[in-house]
Chains A and B, each alone.
Chain A
Amino acid sequence: MDDVKSIDGMILYIKNIFHDSADLIVEEIEWQKKPAIICYYSVINEASQVNKELELIRNRAEEGLLKWGETAASTVQAFSVPTLIENVATGSVAVVFPFTNLLLKITIPKMPVRSISEPDNEHVIRGQHGGFVESFETNIGILRKHLAIPDLVVKSMRLGSDTNTLVSYVYIESIANKDVVNDLKDKLENIGLSKIWGTGPIEDYLEDSVWSPFPQFLNTERPDRVIANLLEGKIAVFTDSSPTALIAPVNFFSFYESPDDYNARVLVGSFYRILRLISFMAAIFLPAFYIAVVSFHSEIIPAELGKQVKLAVNDIPYRPIVEALILELFIELIRESAIRLPTPIGQTIGIVGGLVIGNAIVDAGFVSNFMVIVVAMTAISSFVVPSWEMNMSIRLIRFPFMLAAALFGFFGMAIGTLVLFIHLLNLSSLKQPYFTPIIPFDPSRFKDVFFRIPYVRMNKQQKTFTHGADKEGGDR
């Protein structure tokens, strides 16, 4: 009777630990004529599969196998309350044997997972259309599928005392730099945050300079992007609860590379990469340039255009900087509201906001139509960047530039450019230079930045256009 009592007491005790949650199952089962306790969350475990597994282990135990509990889905541990809590909380089934003081852990999870779909914020035309989902297993599974090598290392840890989130980092042992891996590991282990629910909080902890406007981690939901970066020796950080991978150490220019470049043809890929870098310039400098020209250096406008510009700005009551801020605010509002609204209405808002109000705002004499052109151009250029984080950063940086231009004209812009440049030179991502190959300056690597270099150069092929001549190609 004592036994029964203590088993009942134990069940109550375990229920208490988990605050008698409705989805918690704690039951007594019979194991080799003795009572045992099975404990799991019903919603994240495949109950029928667990039964089969239990049956299998029971048979093994009866056969008297030494390692009766060790199967592909189960393991035997010494029993302790923390182990029990950890196993159950992370989605395993725990079978407690009070008499032998052992704990059998069976892991057959039934986690709710979204199916794989193309990430909405990183569309490509050609290339993979699958994205990561909110599951450690699926994500790593995708990586494993593409990188069938033993060098792909996955390390995991549970972080955050309140959330107990599974955080893992992935790298390729033979390519990644050991120091960087160790640095990342230290940083991850030292995260003192109790609540972690996505990659955002982790990113803040891992970044070398949190106050910099530039993202020092590449955020992506695309497996091909992660794989390409892993193969360059970078490290990817996943959390179990987010489809986003953080990639580091990155450099500035990798934000301007899209998987599309490498799927497109060489010339096309190179052209669009250069276009994106030009868009970076336009997104930062265009409004500032216009403000500087209209308020300081009107003499640079060619005569014919000058009349039109003058006609447009002559009756505007505000300074150009105010004009620009009104319009920028307007565009940011459209952008922000379009994200929140369902897709069909979002487009309507875009059209109403962009066309109707844009036209009315000029007619009303609030802003000049040149300013509308400039701000619209800037907005479009800033959306060209293949990375959402970088896009937001650029949208932010142009405000200081506008201010500098309004204060000092081109002088302000030149100073701003220098400050920005020095800041970029100082910046690091996991202690690796962020602005390579500009720091350290290495001209030979610039071709990789501005062009998409072909993977393969033809060798041993037809070498001449002349028929019959030198088919094998000389020893050149």
Chain B
Amino acid sequence: MTFNLSRNQFFLLLFIAQTGTVSLSFQTPFINATGRDAWLVFIGVGIFHYVLLLIYEKNYQYFKPGPIASWLFIGYWFLILVSFISYVDYTLAVWAFPDTPQILVIAIMVGISLYANLSRAETVINLSVILVPLIPLFYILLLFAWPNYVWTNLFPIGTLDRSELIKGLLTSQFTFIGIELFLFFRKHVDQQHKVKGRPLFIYQSIWMVFFFSSVLFTLAYFPLVEIKRIPEPIMYILKTQTVSFVERIDLFFIYLWMMWSIITIAIFAFTSIYVLQLHVKGHRKRNTIILHILLVLFPLLFLSKERVAMIQSTLPYFHLFFIMVVPTIVILMNRRKKK
């Protein structure tokens, strides 16, 4: 697979991969772990994210994963995919489809990803454009709730102890999922487009504003006790908003979020197949179909709330390993080789 990315495409791809399912699911566990300090912790997390991006940008040329690392990554992405699909399906079942067989909903969602992945590579890459007009729209709707945000809810700060902090940092890793795609796709970016410096900073700012404001809004809207009861706080904020001709904006949002998640799923599936193609030549179609069949079957094992929670809670550990440890080893090995 050879393809070329413009700077805009690259960052859009990265953004959709990093947000997607996580945009709705991460606030509650994160705030539950860190309490009112969540927003403060998240500033720190944001800086960490930026540093990570800078390191990636500096070393991406050396990132040439061998077969072992590639297979590890594919396995990890598979875990992410299964966790996303089961989470989306569980949420959809609770919010909208209590009676529809879950396998059907999963099959339809995975089917879309399959359709996209059987098309040309550019299709998956540009798929996220459909979200470009929709995401700002719902962000504005969140701002409509402004009068109901109680800003004193953000204080007092500094009540965190170390174990809570570590737990918070771990849960905040959900927002990083997908950052590893930077390493894989960076080399496809048009050489004439500058990524270093300002463009990277703009991307970091958008990422930061998106997640940080979602944490901030959640904290300001709900008292801590209530957040513990609500798994998808953003949905609840939207639930009370009324625009003149439609009520229940949350209903629209959940389907937008579902589309968003499907696209994220398609992107991860695409990346898995892409990395697979680096080492196993040929049979792209067959491999894509096999991957998607597995994606229909595996999430069926994780359909209850506890199992969704279980798979969610293990993800950050895997994730840290894959964004820090594996790239470091691969980069160091390649650097040494080069010397």
Q: Determine direct contact between A and B, CB below 8 Å.
A: yes
Other than the given A422-B116, A425-B122, 10 more pairs (CB < 8 A) read A410-B251, A411-B255, A418-B259, A421-B130, A425-B126, A425-B127, A440-B122, A441-B9, A441-B126, A442-B6
- Distance of B231 from chain A, by nearest CB (Å): 20
Q: B97 to chain A: which residues have CB within 8 Å? A: 411
> For chain A residues 433-467, which have a beta carbon within 8 Å of chain B?
438-443
Knowing A301-B247, A441-B6, A441-B9, say if A414 contacts B123 (CB, 8 Å): no
Which residue of chain B has the shortest Cβ distance to A444 in the bound complex? B8
Q: Please, could you name 21 A-B residue pairs with CB atoms under 8 Å apart, sorted by A?
A: A297-B248, A299-B247, A299-B248, A302-B245, A410-B252, A411-B97, A411-B105, A411-B255, A413-B255, A415-B109, A417-B130, A418-B130, A418-B259, A418-B262, A422-B112, A422-B119, A422-B123, A425-B126, A438-B126, A441-B6, A441-B129
Instruction: List residues of B whose CB falls within 8 A of some A CB.
Output: 6, 8-9, 12, 92, 96-97, 100, 105, 108-109, 112, 115-116, 119-120, 122-123, 125-127, 129-130, 242, 245-248, 251-252, 255-256, 258-259, 262-263
Query: What total of A-B pairs shows CB separation below 8 Å?
Result: 80
Knowing A300-B247, A300-B248, A422-B115, say if A411 contacts B130 (CB, 8 Å): no
- Give complex CA distance A302, B123 in Å: 38
**Binding site secondary structure of chain B:** helix
Which residue of chain A has the shortest Cβ distance to B3 in the bound complex? A440
| A193 lies within 8 A of chain B by Cβ | no
Which residue of chain A has the shortest Cβ distance to B92 in the bound complex? A411
- Give complex CA distance A29, B109 in Å: 80
Which residue of chain B has the shortest Cβ distance to A413 in the bound complex? B255
- Distance of B212 from chain A, by nearest CB (Å): 24
Indicate if the CB atoms of A302 and B247 lie closer than 8 Å. Answer: yes
- Distance of A123 from chain B, by nearest CB (Å): 32
| A426 lies within 8 A of chain B by Cβ | yes
- Give complex CA distance A384, B263 in Å: 32
CB contact between A411 and one of B96, B119, B125, B242 (< 8 Å): that residue: B96
- Distance of A296 from chain B, by nearest CB (Å): 8
- Give complex CA distance A417, B92 in Å: 18
| A396 lies within 8 A of chain B by Cβ | no
CB contact between A442 and one of B8, B108, B248, B255 (< 8 Å): that residue: B8
Knowing A297-B251, A411-B255, A441-B8, say if A421 contacts B127 (CB, 8 Å): yes
Indicate if the CB atoms of B123 and A425 lie closer than 8 Å. Answer: yes
The interface centre, meaning the residue of B92, B115, B116, B129 with most chain A CB atoms within 10 A of its CB, is B129
| A89 lies within 8 A of chain B by Cβ | no
- What is the interface residue range for chain A against chain B? 20 to 34
Q: A443 to chain B: which residues have CB within 8 Å? A: 8
- Distance of A240 from chain B, by nearest CB (Å): 37
Indicate if the CB atoms of B258 and A300 lie closer than 8 Å. Answer: no
Q: A266 to chain B: which residues have CB within 8 Å? A: none
| A311 lies within 8 A of chain B by Cβ | no
| A419 lies within 8 A of chain B by Cβ | yes
Q: B258 to chain A: which residues have CB within 8 Å? A: 411, 414
User: Which 7 pairs between the two chains have the least Cβ-Cβ distance?
Assistant: A439-B126, A414-B255, A425-B123, A300-B248, A426-B119, A410-B255, A438-B129
Q: A442 to chain B: which residues have CB within 8 Å? A: 6, 8
Q: A414 to chain B: which residues have CB within 8 Å? A: 255-256, 258-259
Q: B125 to chain A: which residues have CB within 8 Å? A: 441
- Give complex CA distance A302, B96 in Å: 19
Q: B105 to chain A: which residues have CB within 8 Å? A: 411
> For chain A residues 210-224, which have a beta carbon within 8 Å of chain B?
none
Q: Mark A384-412, 1 if CB is under 8 A from B, else 0.
A: 00000000000000000000000011110
- Give complex CA distance A419, B119 in Å: 12
Q: A441 to chain B: which residues have CB within 8 Å? A: 6, 8-9, 12, 125-126, 129
Q: A408 to chain B: which residues have CB within 8 Å? A: 100
Which residue of chain A has the shortest Cβ distance to B119 in the bound complex? A426
> For chain A residues 291-305, which have a beta carbon within 8 Å of chain B?
297, 299-302, 305
Q: B100 to chain A: which residues have CB within 8 Å? A: 408
- Distance of B155 from chain A, by nearest CB (Å): 36
- Distance of A370 from chain B, by nearest CB (Å): 14
Which residue of chain B has the shortest Cβ distance to A418 in the bound complex? B112
- Distance of B265 from chain A, by nearest CB (Å): 11
Which residue of chain A has the shortest Cβ distance to B252 in the bound complex? A410
Q: B120 to chain A: which residues have CB within 8 Å? A: 426
Indicate if the CB atoms of A426 and B123 lie closer than 8 Å. Answer: yes
CB contact between A422 and one of B6, B127, B247 (< 8 Å): that residue: B127
Which residue of chain A has the shortest Cβ distance to B4 in the bound complex? A440
The interface centre, meaning the residue of B246, B247, B255 with most chain A CB atoms within 10 A of its CB, is B255
